Structure 1
Amino acid sequence: MKALSLAAVLAVCLSGCQKESGKPKDLSLLTTTTVVAEIPGGPQEGGAWNANAIRNVPQVEFNATGRGFFYVAEQGGKFHVVHNGNRGNSYTNILTPTLSPDGQRLAYQAYVDDKVRMVVDGREGEVVEELEIPFFSPDNRHVVYQAKTGGRWYFVVDGRSFPAYRTEHNQFGFSADGTRMAYVDSPVEGAKPRLVVTDLDFKKQLIREATGAVMVISDDKSRIAAISEVKGKQRVIELSLATPDQVKEGVLYDSIKDLAISPDGTSVAYVAEKGGRKVLVWNGQEKAFPPGKLVGQIVFRPGNKGVGLLTDSNGSCAFHEPFSGSGPQIRPYDEVGELAYSKDGKSLVYLGRKVTPGQTGKSIFMVVNGKEGPRFDKVISPTFTPDGQKVVYRVRHEGKRFMVVSDLDGKIIRQDPQHEMVFPPVFSPDGKLLAYGVKDGGKLVWNVEKL
């Protein structure tokens, strides 16, 4: 294995060290509408184009507090990143820019011609053969990525390099406290995948062979579920990232797919085949899988009350809650998707699409508690407000993008102003404010509104 040079190691290690200041930085939700950046560029006076102007902004991202952002800009045939107002160096190309959860750190792949290196917090690492996407720990302290040199892949953890194999990882995640990480790899090309849970020094490890063809980690980063192979059959294993040696093994089936884990890690569900019969499994309980194919993911009902799912069968779609005792809700839609529940579990929403012959667009709508909302060209990610009394979703319609707030009957309460780009919404802790990023021309704005 080719080790990173001392200079490169120090450069990337130093990138993880945050400068101390007399006053801690405010990382709470930004609760006032703020212009966070103005991207320079555009024609000069008289209409002549400035040769040094920014001509293209291929990527923009805000973090969930509005206090972190970046954009990638093309200028003079090269690309650079501006992160929280600080401009980085220019490169031939920039790939996979990734913000830390608090928005204060940034890592990305930077190319100079065909030579690539990782840039972390503005500091350049060593040129390598290939790189994979970087990951930040939930506490923002650690950054991990894989690099290839000498034909072998190794992990780089805060600038330190670790085991090298000929295959790269294909799934990855941190524990909630950032002290452990889980990944799936194969140390030998062509071998079955293996699940590895390790500390950041690669000294304390749990390795499960023939495990991890699918691995899922709960949203709170507390637990893992993965598919494990045993003598031609499959089972689901569950474990805690805090105590990975305590493994819970599920029943063996002929095959397993569509594995899902609840946000808090307490429930697991999947689709399995047993003796030619397809079943839905939730926390060890089985129900016959409904006719048709699963659309999207299995979604957990709050309060540990089972699961919900959408299916598509023979030109109609249906919503199911197999463990509730209720029958399916069948709809004559062309497509459905993006099922979600309110936090209290009393309401649900999903998207429907129904094409009207002879009409272009205006085919997608929200279905909340069985009631259809207005139709648009596109609807994205309907989300309940924290109190469960409203639904917020992004819309693209006739080339414009905007946010919509509706009631639980699908009726629009408020349609926000139109923008060039609209980013995912977040809510204040008390649920009284709606916030999201927007882009209009050269302005990036963190927009805050009362609900």
Structure 2
Amino acid sequence: MRKSAVRVIPFLLIVVMIAVAVIPASAGPRFTEKAIPLGIHKSDEQVFAGSVQLSDDRQHITYVSKNHDGKVRVWIDGITGVAYEGTSTPRFVPGTGKVAYIAADNGNMFTIINGEKGPKNARADSLTFSPDGSRFGYRAQNNDGKVLAVVDGKPGPLFVNVLPDPGILFSPDSRHAIYIGVNEAGSQVLVKNHEPLRAFDEIKEVAFSPDSRHLAYAGRSGQDWSVIHNDTENDPYDNINGVLFSSDSSHLAYMAEKGRRVVVVKDGKEQFSGESAGIPFFSPDGTRFGFLMKKGKGWHLMMDEKKGPLIARPDKVVFSEDSRHFAYSALIGTTWAVIKDTEIVDKGLQRIRFLTFLPDSPDLLYIAVPQAGKEYMMVNGQKYSSFDSIGLPVFPPGQDAIAHVAQDGKDMFFVMGEKKEGPYRTIGIPRTQADGSVAMTSQFPFFSPDGARVAYPAIDHDNRIFMVVDGKSHEYYEAITEPVFSPDSGHVAYTAQKNGKWLVVVDGIEGEKRFDGILKGSRIVFDSPSSFSVLSLNLPGPSFYKLAVTIEKDKK
């Protein structure tokens, strides 16, 4: 069978992948399909590809179109809104299903939120929402040229400017809104819930604590920077960076500069002052505190005031899930080592490609590249089989196992414990990048919710792409997308391209509906063990659809 070349489909939202030969699909359980229109357009309408937005649950679509009259309209699931001279890109409000955008008409700008029109302004931008989606804010300019922040439709004090960075920030619990205004004197004023707090020459590093009870920021008066934590102003420094709360909201840390020295500060007290230091960090539970400190030409990792071994260059620090243990890889001399807590557990390596703790365990896993020979995976001090290249580990739900892909020579395999499937030319999905190059993605196995089943996309040495499910190869297609298992693990579905058209495949059987593309960012979403949907399109137009699939129950 012939090998096919990379195909580029001329619409930005279509999934584009390497095309290969086609073999008929196999039989499987029956299912019904219903194509629900979400916007049908004629060739004289312009749909702005960059405006297409999907809801968080990938079930709904909104976008902007322009008709021959020059007006633009926002569409939501096939229903068009009022025509305006212009609009911003519409957005789905987090957790609500509402759509919001800023519209311009007759020299005015205003918000449209869930179809409701807000007050008119000369200009408006930077529409943002609270984490729970219940509140909104944006910058506005009145007819006198003054700039203000509008929160929940209520205007704040007037300024010369409201800084777009950081813009309007909501606290994690959505109860508070802060922003920085610039007054007539040129000072920057931190405003909380429309109430001005303090004015400084400059303000930065604004942060809420995770529990929303604390507010911290850095303010500059003249040449001096200081961190203000709630109402307390800490010691002045030449500069401040990296303001960070712990996850339990109990601690505040940051880096500062004092002359030629770098200072690490925690809870208002200096923990280190020296030539250089790394950004401080906390453990996942917030109880442990660490940072890198430089000594001469080397570095030490400081954790809870205990100094680790001297290293030449550090790498990322990882914690166990309970935060009791930490580990990192580091260059010692000219070779790499693995350090767990304060002890070197492996050394003399050319490179460490990956480092993590096993789920709910103090055991360490890493991929080691030795000075000579093949790389290998180490788990709790035990060496596993070697390959030319090892992919990132995947931990199947409910199983005490580790799965990954691996390359040996020109062959790639799926590996899980002592089990090895293959060989293939590669495992994964090829995608065309913006520059026209092709990159491999999804190079890992996909497990069912119960962890008992596995699927992954593969390409053989004849350049044919197909899905492998539970060790069995499905049919060949021109392109495929990632597999998705049903909530009960009983079914697996994906989309595939055949003869230039896209279709769904459920448990190895093809659907009858055909489309020109699957929307970028869309994916199969199961809403029950026997039903799912995916968003698709047809050309010309374009026309958008939700393909709803219902799988029939097995007859006994």
TM-score greater than 0.5 by the shorter chain: yes
Q: Which residue of 1 aligns with 2:152?
A: 121
Relative to structure 1, is the Cα distance of residues 86 and 341 closer, same or farther in structure 2, using a 3 angstrom cutoff? farther
TM-score after normalising by structure 2: 0.49
CA distance in 2, matches of 1:444, 1:328: 56
Q: Which residue of 1 aligns with 2:137?
A: 107
Query: C-alpha deviations, 1:280-307, integer Å up to 9, x for none?
Result: 222222224655564xx53333223343
Q: Give the letter for the 1:263 counterpart.
A: P
Shift of 1:120: 1.1
Q: Give the letter for the 1:344 counterpart.
A: D
Relative to structure 1, is the Cα distance of residues 256 and 157 closer, same or farther in structure 2, using a 3 angstrom cutoff? same
Tell whether the 8 Å contact from 1:92 to 1:110 is kept in structure 2 after alignment. Answer: yes
CA distance in 2, matches of 1:288, 1:365: 29
Query: C-alpha deviations, 1:214-241, integer Å up to 9, x for none?
Result: 32222343321222456754443322xx
Q: Which residue of 2 aligns with 1:207?
A: 234
CA distance in 1, matches of 2:115, 2:350: 49
Query: C-alpha deviations, 1:142-190, integer Å up to 9, x for none?
Result: 11111001111111111111222221x22122234534311112122xx
Relative to structure 1, is the Cα distance of residues 39 and 277 closer, same or farther in structure 2, using a 3 angstrom cutoff? closer
CA distance in 2, matches of 1:216, 1:332: 31
Tell whether the 8 Å contact from 1:42 to 1:53 is kept in structure 2 after alignment. Answer: yes
> SS of 1:208's equivalent?
coil
Query: C-alpha deviations, 1:232-275, integer Å up to 9, x for none?
Result: 54443322xxxxxxx55424433211321223321122221023
Shift of 1:106: 1.5
Q: Which residue of 2 aligns with 1:19?
A: none
Whether 2:379 is the aligned partner of 1:344: answer: no
Q: Which residue of 2 aligns with 1:144?
A: 178
Q: Give the letter for the 1:103 counterpart.
A: G
> SS of 1:257's equivalent?
coil
Q: Give the letter for the 1:205 counterpart.
A: T
Whether 2:296 is the aligned partner of 1:275: answer: yes
Shift of 1:39: 3.0
CA distance in 2, matches of 1:61, 1:315: 51
Shift of 1:86: 4.4
CA distance in 2, matches of 1:348, 1:70: 45
Q: Which residue of 2 aligns with 1:371?
A: 404
Q: Give the letter for the 2:234 counterpart.
A: I
TM-score after normalising by structure 1: 0.58
CA distance in 2, matches of 1:316, 1:91: 62
Question: Which runs of structure 2 are paired with 1:51-70 in the superposition (5 Å)?
Answer: 51-54=71-74, 58=89, 60=91, 63=94, 66-67=95-96
Q: Give the letter for the 1:273 counterpart.
A: K
Q: Which residue of 2 aligns with 1:222?
A: 250
Relative to structure 1, is the Cα distance of residues 332 and 279 closer, same or farther in structure 2, using a 3 angstrom cutoff? closer
Relative to structure 1, is the Cα distance of residues 62 and 315 closer, same or farther in structure 2, using a 3 angstrom cutoff? farther
Q: Give the letter for the 1:197 counterpart.
A: H
Q: Give the letter for the 2:188 counterpart.
A: W
Shift of 1:43: 6.4
Relative to structure 1, is the Cα distance of residues 298 and 138 closer, same or farther in structure 2, using a 3 angstrom cutoff? same
CA distance in 1, matches of 2:71, 2:361: 55
CA distance in 1, matches of 2:322, 2:131: 27
Relative to structure 1, is the Cα distance of residues 264 and 402 closer, same or farther in structure 2, using a 3 angstrom cutoff? farther
Q: Which residue of 2 aligns with 1:303?
A: 322
Tell whether the 8 Å contact from 1:316 to 1:330 is kept in structure 2 after alignment. Answer: yes
CA distance in 2, matches of 1:58, 1:219: 34
Question: Which runs of structure 2 are paired with 1:35-184 in the superposition (5 Å)?
Answer: 35=59, 39=62, 41-42=64-65, 48=68, 51-54=71-74, 58=89, 60=91, 63=94, 66-67=95-96, 71-72=100-101, 81-83=111-113, 86=116, 88=118, 95-110=125-140, 116-125=147-156, 126-131=158-163, 132=165, 133-150=167-184, 151-167=186-202, 169-184=203-218
CA distance in 1, matches of 2:450, 2:358: 5
Tell whether the 8 Å contact from 2:263 to 2:274 is kept in structure 1 after alignment. Answer: yes
Query: C-alpha deviations, 1:92-133, integer Å up to 9, x for none?
Result: 875544321211112222457976432212333335324242
Larger-Rg structure: 2
Q: Give the letter for the 2:96 counterpart.
A: R
Shift of 1:135: 1.8
Tell whether the 8 Å contact from 1:401 to 1:421 is kept in structure 2 after alignment. Answer: no
CA distance in 1, matches of 2:545, 2:128: 18
Tell whether the 8 Å contact from 1:306 to 1:323 is kept in structure 2 after alignment. Answer: no
Q: Give the letter for the 1:258 counterpart.
A: I
Q: Give the letter for the 2:132 counterpart.
A: D
Question: Which runs of structure 2 are paired with 1:215-294 in the superposition (5 Å)?
Answer: 215-229=243-257, 232-239=260-267, 247=268, 249-288=270-309, 290-292=311-313, 294=315
How high is the sequence identity, in percent, across the aligned residues? 19
Query: C-alpha deviations, 1:355-400, integer Å up to 9, x for none?
Result: xxxxxxxx997444683484454769x9x99x9979xxxx9xxxx9
Query: C-alpha deviations, 1:304-334, integer Å up to 9, x for none?
Result: 334344679999999764646432696879x
CA distance in 2, matches of 1:350, 1:78: 58
Give the alignment's Cα RMSD to 1 decimal: 5.5
- Size of the aligned set, in residue pairs, is 353
Q: Give the letter for the 1:303 counterpart.
A: D
Q: Give the letter for the 2:177 counterpart.
A: V
Relative to structure 1, is the Cα distance of residues 128 and 300 closer, same or farther in structure 2, using a 3 angstrom cutoff? farther
Relative to structure 1, is the Cα distance of residues 50 and 93 closer, same or farther in structure 2, using a 3 angstrom cutoff? same
Q: Give the letter for the 2:284 counterpart.
A: P
Shift of 1:197: 0.6
Relative to structure 1, is the Cα distance of residues 81 and 272 closer, same or farther in structure 2, using a 3 angstrom cutoff? farther
Tell whether the 8 Å contact from 1:270 to 1:298 is kept in structure 2 after alignment. Answer: no
> SS of 1:172's equivalent?
strand
CA distance in 2, matches of 1:253, 1:308: 24
Shift of 1:85: 5.5
